[in-house]
Structure 1
Amino acid sequence: MANGPNYKVKFRRRREGKTNYYRRYAYVVSKQIRFVVRITNKYVIVQVVKIDPKGDITLAAAHSIELVKKFGWKGDTNNTPAAYLTGYLAALRAMKKNINKCVADIGLHVPSKGARIFYAIKGAIDAGLKIPIGEVGIQDSRIKGEHIAKYAEKLKNENPDLYNKLFSKYLERGLNPENLPSHFDEVLNKIKSSGG
């Protein structure tokens, strides 16, 4: 680590790898409402945030655990379909508060093609929110979890022990992973009918 009279210690959140202050500055100067997506090891968290000098104000939010508790989701809470549904739910709540346009805030995530973060944003766009993202490699089949269902079906035939091990949580919740796309449609319809 550098030292001496001219060395400046970086901000704590920068040292911890939590905040990119260059990107944050760009958001503050733009004064636009942000569609903030964060993915943890277990959950997807989506917030619609307005910048304020005293601190950010959250206008609408959705958490993937709500999919389980309110809408009967039986899949994982941080996979691609869960990211899409969480983004969709957050967008419905934002539009209830007359928010129609946002900019995407992906934080420190690397913007690689096909990343789950972009599926959450795609969910918001499909719900009616205007968010410019460009070409990010979104595949419609992955939205419903068809890739998970195909892998589960293949694994069930080839290696039943590994199938039971990898998809144990799905099976505990009463969902055969091969039926994930139809279950996704059920939950999406529940979210639409609830209005957020």
Structure 2
Amino acid sequence: MSPLSLLLSRQNTPTPSAAPHRTHSFSRLVPSSVAPLRTGSSASASLLQRRLPRRPGRALGGQSGARSRREPPVPGGAARTARRRSAGPAGGSTARARPRPAGQGRSCGCAARAAFSRLLRSAVVVRSGPRPEGPDSAWHDEGKTDYYARKRLVIQDKNKYNTPKYRMIVRVTNRDIICQIAYARIEGDMIVCAAYAHELPKYGVKVGLTNYAAAYCTGLLLARRLLNKFGLDKIYEGQVEVTGDEYNVESVDGKPGAFTCYLDAGLARTTTGNKVFGALKGAVDGGLSIPHSTKRFPGYDSESKEFNAEVHRKHIMGQNVADYMRYLMEEDEDAYKKQFSQYIKNNVTPDGMEEMYKKAHAAIRDNPVHEKKPKREVKKKRWNCPKMSLAQKKDRVAQKKASFLRAQERRTES
């Protein structure tokens, strides 16, 4: 048979499948569902069309029903891709094109490249969408900061340049009341001064560390401590005698101005009688200038629009708690012993409660400075052997040699 006839016979003979093409290095990144695409058969092309999403008006096997050229890349990123996919068949026909015969369609490298690019586009769309629900997104929904309020508390007037805008931060926990003076920086909030309700036992208040009276004492302690730190405690004494009425600090002529800050209540409900405003009243009576009104103090009647300062004073002196103690002592002795067990243990009676808070206010004004706890010396324990020095190592070798020589002498003698 001549070479020409042999070549013609080979061309007329049908082949079951095309020869396998060379695979690319990135084809291993394609998932197992696209694994049959490594051959150029028509079955692989139809499998690709079934498993992978198509652009509107374009078939993967070859030409589109409405377009004969390859679509140019459309700028816009993942969002444009998502919109194009959700738009439907507006760009052209969605009829599935007949797969090309083996050897005439896309090579396995082109098919793998197309599959990989589509996988990347779908991944980008998922990342650019809403954050999925689950433990990874729990941090976003904890609600630790009200940024609408923080923006207005932090931003300073532009004509004040580097002057900080101070905030009085008040947070009430289950067992403590935290009061801080802070200002904002890009690195974070800088705490200037702080006072806590768990410091009140030092001043004579050993029980009820989270009530309204304790909040007042904590705010008073914060104000006196801050003014003492800046040397303003002698200039701005505040209101020494507690009346519960409205009081505002005014700057003294020829002296440094009054320390001004703004209340930061956080996520607390700013209702009338909230303990946050008890700390505010204590700080104002202590000598700080904080803009406020009497509408949120206990004793304000929203119907008559009047403020009763005597009711507010009773809350500051703990008389509302004393009245409830007297009520339980008469009505239910067991409930009184159960609810006020710590008061009974510390010998705090309803009649002596006002005197206790008066002494605490005086003690706070006398010495508001925070005393650091003495540093406890910790004796380090060592559970391993320390390293030997060079002299110790040489001495150890000499002892081993001497021991070995003595053993040799005994052996020879015996």
TM-score by length of 1: 0.89
Amino acid at match of 1:133: H
| Deviating more after overlay: 83-92 vs 73-82 | 73-82
Is residue 77 of structure 1 aligned with residue 250 of structure 2? no
| Deviating more after overlay: 30-39 vs 171-180 | 171-180
Is residue 166 of structure 1 aligned with residue 339 of structure 2? yes
CA contact (8 A) 2:204 2:356 kept: no
Amino acid at match of 1:92: R
2: CA distance, partners of 1:21 / 1:175? 43
How far did residue 14 of structure 1 move? 5.3
Q: Indicate how the Cα distance of structure 1 residues 124 and 25 shifts in structure 2: closer, same or farther if over 3 A, else same.
A: same
For 2:171, which of 18, 22, 38 is the aligned residue?
38
How many residues get paired? 192
CA contact (8 A) 1:63 1:86 kept: yes
1: CA distance, partners of 2:271 / 2:361? 26
Is residue 105 of structure 1 aligned with residue 105 of structure 2? no
Gaps of 5+ in 1: none
What CA deviation, in whole Å up to 9, does each residue of 1:87-128 have, x standing for no partner? 000011122234711000000001101101100000000011
Match of 1:7 in 2: 130
Q: Which has the higher contact order (CA 8 A, sep 6+)?
A: 1
Q: Identity percentage over the alignment? A: 33
CA contact (8 A) 1:43 1:63 kept: yes
How far did residue 180 of structure 1 move? 1.5
Equivalent residues in 2 for 1:86-105, closer than 5 Å: 86-98=218-230, 100-105=259-264
1: CA distance, partners of 2:365 / 2:215? 16
The 3-state SS of whatever aligns with 2:171 is strand
The 3-state SS of whatever aligns with 1:56 is strand
- Whose strand fraction is larger, Structure 1's or Structure 2's? 1
Match of 2:291 in 1: 132
Q: Indicate how the Cα distance of structure 1 residues 109 and 13 shifts in structure 2: closer, same or farther if over 3 A, else same.
A: farther
Is residue 50 of structure 1 aligned with residue 183 of structure 2? yes
1: CA distance, partners of 2:131 / 2:140? 13
Match of 1:59 in 2: 192
2: CA distance, partners of 1:185 / 1:38? 24
What CA deviation, in whole Å up to 9, does each residue of 1:161-188 have, x standing for no partner? 1111110011112212442211111111
Is residue 119 of structure 1 aligned with residue 266 of structure 2? no
How far did residue 145 of structure 1 move? 0.6
2: CA distance, partners of 1:111 / 1:6? 36
CA contact (8 A) 2:168 2:182 kept: yes
1: CA distance, partners of 2:350 / 2:199? 20
RMSD of aligned C-alpha atoms?
2.1
How far did residue 75 of structure 1 move? 2.2
2: CA distance, partners of 1:126 / 1:13? 39
| Deviating more after overlay: 118-127 vs 28-37 | 28-37
The 3-state SS of whatever aligns with 1:149 is helix
2: CA distance, partners of 1:194 / 1:79? 23
Gaps of 5+ in 2: 1-125, 157-163, 231-257, 299-311, 370-414
